[in-house]
């Protein structure tokens, strides 16, 4: 899968920056697709997610309390933005410390479902982000992508090709 990391300037602030993934051949990012798919049925939850993202970017940074860790493989940074009690929407992210979060996709998670593997949509979104996280980690090791001096941005090669 070929993709590019794209900074979401409107959602980034002085405490944290948000990126999303633009897959080669797509005209919408993973996060834009998530918003489009869920903005009618889960309007209030989408507003809450945007509000929490703005709090993270401008006030708190990407602190642990906002994220459910260990949604991927050990060490890959894959997590989910915590939902409010009663919320049915799950948004998968890749977190790099308190400063950078990559917003992926997700979808509704019915409360009876205990594991993401029980829902094909959530499984697909999660495994796609796992693959992206692996490619980013390999690029970091090869020093093709790295953090800016203030740790709020990625620098280097933001396009990933197979």
Is residue 102 situated within a structural domain? yes
Average pLDDT over residues 138-145: 96
In total, how many domains does the chain have?
1
Find, among 49, 55, 46, 66, the residue nearest to 14 by Cα: 55
CB 1 within 8 A of CB 25: no
Is residue 161 situated within a structural domain? no
> 23: domain range?
3-154
**pLDDT tens sequence across 57-96:** 999 999 999 999 999 988 899 999 977 777 889 999 999 9
Is residue 116 situated within a structural domain? yes
CA distance 99 to 40: 30
pTM passes above 0.75? yes
Is residue 42 situated within a structural domain? yes
pLDDT > 70 fraction of the chain, expressed in percent and rounded: 100
Is residue 160 situated within a structural domain? no
Is residue 162 situated within a structural domain? no
Is residue 76 situated within a structural domain? yes
Is residue 159 situated within a structural domain? no
- Mean residue pLDDT of the chain comes to 94
């Amino acid at each position: 899968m070929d993709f590019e990391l794209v900074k979401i300037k409107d959602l980034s602030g002085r405490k944290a920056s948000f990126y999303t993934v633009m897959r080669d051949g797509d005209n919408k990012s993973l996060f834009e697709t998530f918003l489009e798919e869920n903005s009618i049925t889960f309007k209030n939850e989408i507003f809450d997610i945007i509000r929490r993202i703005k709090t993270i970017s401008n006030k708190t940074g990407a602190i642990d309390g906002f994220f459910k860790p260990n949604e991927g493989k050990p060490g890959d940074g894959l997590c989910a933005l915590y939902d409010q009690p009663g919320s049915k929407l799950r948004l998968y992210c890749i977190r790099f410390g308190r400063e950078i979060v990559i917003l992926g996709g997700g979808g509704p998670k019915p409360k009876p479902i205990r594991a993401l593997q029980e829902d094909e949509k959530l499984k697909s979104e999660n495994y796609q982000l796992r693959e992206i996280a692996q490619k980013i980690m390999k690029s970091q090791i090869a020093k093709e992508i790295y953090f800016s001096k203030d740790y709020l941005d990625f620098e280097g090669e933001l396009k990933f090709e197979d």
